[in-house]
Every structure is written in C-alpha cells, then in structure tokens.
Chains A and B, each alone.
Chain A
Amino acid sequence: MSYDLETAERAAYAPFFGYMGAASAQIFTVLGAAYGTAKSAVGICSMGVMRPELIMKSVIPVIMAGIIGIYGLVVAMVLKGKVTSASAGYDLNKGFAHLAAGLTCGLCGLGAGYAIGIVGDAGVRGTAQQPRLFVGMILILIFSEVLGLYGMIVALILGTS
C-alpha cells in the first residue's frame, strides 16, 4: 500500500498532543502565578512590617497572579473536553491545534505572572512610601494581567475552531 496522507493524519498517538496541550496550559500558568505570588509576597512582607495598615491593599498583586492560574484552568478544561481517541475521529491536525492552544495560554500566563510578580514587588514597596502610586500600580498590574488574557483568547480560538 502506498503512502496515504489521510491515514497518516489519523495516527493513534494524536491525542497525546491534545492532552499535552491541556497539561501545558495549566502547568505553565500555575508556574507563572507561583512566581508572581512569591515575588510580590516578599514585597508585601517587607513593607507590611512598617505599614501594617496597607497589607490588605497590597494583596492585590497576589490575587491578580491567582487569576492567571484560573485562565489556565479554563483553557485546560475546554481542551480536555475536545480531546478524544483517534478512532473517534481525532486526527493530528486537531492534536497540534490543541497543543498550540495549550502552549499559548500557558506561556502567556508564565509571562504575565512574571510581570505581575516584579511589578507587585516594586509597587507595594513604593505604595508604602507614596500612597498616590497605588492607582498607578493597579494600572500596571492590569496591563500585565491582560497579557495572560491575550493568551487565553488565542488559546480558545485555536482550541475551539
């Protein structure tokens, strides 16, 4: 039998790429969120010693880092629902699309978590000395957060088309 593209596309291992996509969406966003949480927690703790009344206000970067993890959770759930066995019609094209979707969401989340961590650390230290920085810090944090949102949007477009 000669090489047949249609048969080659329906490889038994196609779901592997789909599941790895779902996994990487969750893993990398959580690693980004963990970095963001850890880095901004150090800033909050060193600032909170002198200005304990600002601790609750300063938890915002940590919450924003947590939201990055939720982006990954949403994409991983959506992708998981799409992956089936190769015999049920899941070909390599779908597998690669889902891997790309998962990597996009995951690595955008990693970048966003990195930005939130560094901005959060510097922001809460600055807010302790200059209260007017608070609005600016929130604004920068939202711009960082949006980077993760872009990843989720592209992942959902890739994963559901």
Chain B
Amino acid sequence: MSTDTKQIIADALLKNEQAMYGPFFGSLGVTSAMAFAAAGSAYGTAKAGTGIASMAVARPDLVMKAIIPVVMAGIVAIYGLVVAVIVSGKVEPAGANYTINNAFSQFAGGLVCGLCGLGAGYAIGIAGDAGVRALSQQPRMFVGMILILIFAEVLGLYGMIVALILGAT
C-alpha cells in the first residue's frame, strides 16, 4: 500500500468516527439511564408498598419504620436522574469533539446505570416486602432488614459509579 492510500484510509476513518448518528447513541444512553432506573425503582416501591400496606393493618405504629424500603427504591431513581442529567450535558452534535467513540461510551454508561438500577430495585422490592412483613412479627428484624437493603442499594451505586466513569469522561 502506498503512503497516499494509507493517508486516504486514515482520513476516511476519522471521518467515519464523526458519523452524524453519534448523538443518537448518546441520547439513548440518557434515556436508558433514567427509564430503566425508574422502572426498577417503581418495582421496588410497588412490591415493598404491598408489604407495608398488608403489615400496617395490624401494626399501624410501624408504618414510618417500614417506609424505608420505599425511600431506598426512590434513591435508585435518583442515581438514574444524576447520570441522565450529567450525560445529557455531554451530548453534542457530531463533529471532531463528539465522535461515535464518545457516543458509544455514553450509551454503555446509560445502560449500566439503568439496568443496575433495575436489578437494585428488584432486590429492594423483594427484600423490603419480606422484611417489613417479618418486622411486624419480630422487632429485632429491623437491623437485618436495613443491612440487606443497603447491600441491595449498593448494587445500584456500582452501576452509577461505572456509568459516571463511562459516560462523563
């Protein structure tokens, strides 16, 4: 291959990297970060909510203690919100400053945050449901429930950390 051909190929690659569909992936990353995290949060809230509602009929004094899983599920959605806001600020029109490399990175970051939030919300919902039902029969269950919920919450935090590293650099 002559040096001229090599130069043409290298230029073509640089041009291909500035494809006009780049922002599509970046914006889709923003959407998936928020949408999947909110879906996970919704499942967690709903599942824990049914547990709280059926437990509170007999033990209304425990309602405020039992609301913790719902708050934790809400925090998962906030992780998604933070990543969505930060990544959406980084999406630009395609060009030398915004290549498909940036776009794919943001897409991956958004997916990680969203689907980790989905997993965390699922775990919070099931652990919260079982936890508050057990709490109404055994007050010493409270510390154990909080501990399990924190471990579930941390799964969403892992997703946010990786998403920020992928999407905001």
Where the two chains meet, the residues of A that have a C-beta atom closer than 8 Å to any C-beta of B are 1, 4, 7, 10-13, 15-16, 19-20, 22-23, 26-27, 30-31, 33-35, 37-39, 41-42, 44-46, 48-50, 52, 55-56, 58-59, 62-63, 65-66, 69-70, 72-73, 76-77, 80, 83-87
Contacts and interface: CB of A to CB of B under 8 A. Distances in A.
Contacts of A10: 9, 13
Contacts of B17: 12, 85-87
Tier of interface size on chain B: 35 or more
Q: Is the interface of A mostly helix, strand, loop or mixed?
A: helix
B108 A37 contact: no
Contacts of B118: 31
Interface of B: 1, 5, 9-10, 13-14, 16-17, 19, 99-101, 104-105, 107-109, 111-112, 115-116, 118-120, 122-123, 125-127, 130-131, 133-134, 137-138, 140-141, 143-145, 147-148, 151-152, 154-155, 158-159, 161-162, 165-166
A19 B126 contact: no
Contacts, number: 166
Contact of A31 (B101, B104, B115): B115
